[in-house]
Amino acid sequence: MTVKVLFVCLGNICRSPSAENIMNHLLAEAGLDRAVRCDSAGTASYHVGNPPDRRMTAAAREQGITMQGKARQFHRTDFEQFDLILAMDDENYEDIVALDRAGEYRHKVRRMCEFCREFRDREVPDPYYGGPEGFRYVINLLLDACGGLLEHLQQEGLIKTHR
């Protein structure tokens, strides 16, 4: 069984594609890239079709992470398609659960920072209007959170280590 994880931020060009690409990187390193399918989306349609932000791409590259993908908007059908939907901040979380009026899928929606092991942030800050340090900070925060997410998936028995 493949676990399907969707990372969601506002525009899908900074935080959520970073989380997607970091998670894919960690999964490949662990030999688990077939066990989990990752995607990302934005709650807004501002950047649909655009690649990840160049500043985010540069910060990821410094950590050996390759950024790829094109922005898309979150759709209600994503609730059915994904096992876990991770919001980058409280506003994203509220926007996602607002689309689930009946509360049928709320159990699938969590906050990314719930999986942090080192960082104490409750939200992944949006670096869009800041400088290079903000982008680096977000990459490091997401490396921590994605590592914690991978541990969580293994501890819950959702993915098995093949080594």
User: Is 136 within 8 Å of 62 (Cβ atoms)?
Assistant: yes
Burial class (CB in 10 A: 0-12, 13-18, 19+), 73: middle
Residue among 77, 13, 91, 83 nearest 48 (CA):
13
Q: Can you read off the two tokens belonging to residue 92?
A: 């994203």
- List, by residue number, the catalytic residues: 9, 15, 126
CA distance 30 to 22: 12
Q: Count CB-CB contacts under 10 A for residue 98.
A: 9
Q: Is 145 in a helix, a strand, or coil?
A: helix
51 to each of 20, 32, 41, 94, 137, how far by Cα in Å? 13, 25, 12, 25, 20
User: Is 139 within 8 Å of 118 (Cβ atoms)?
Assistant: no
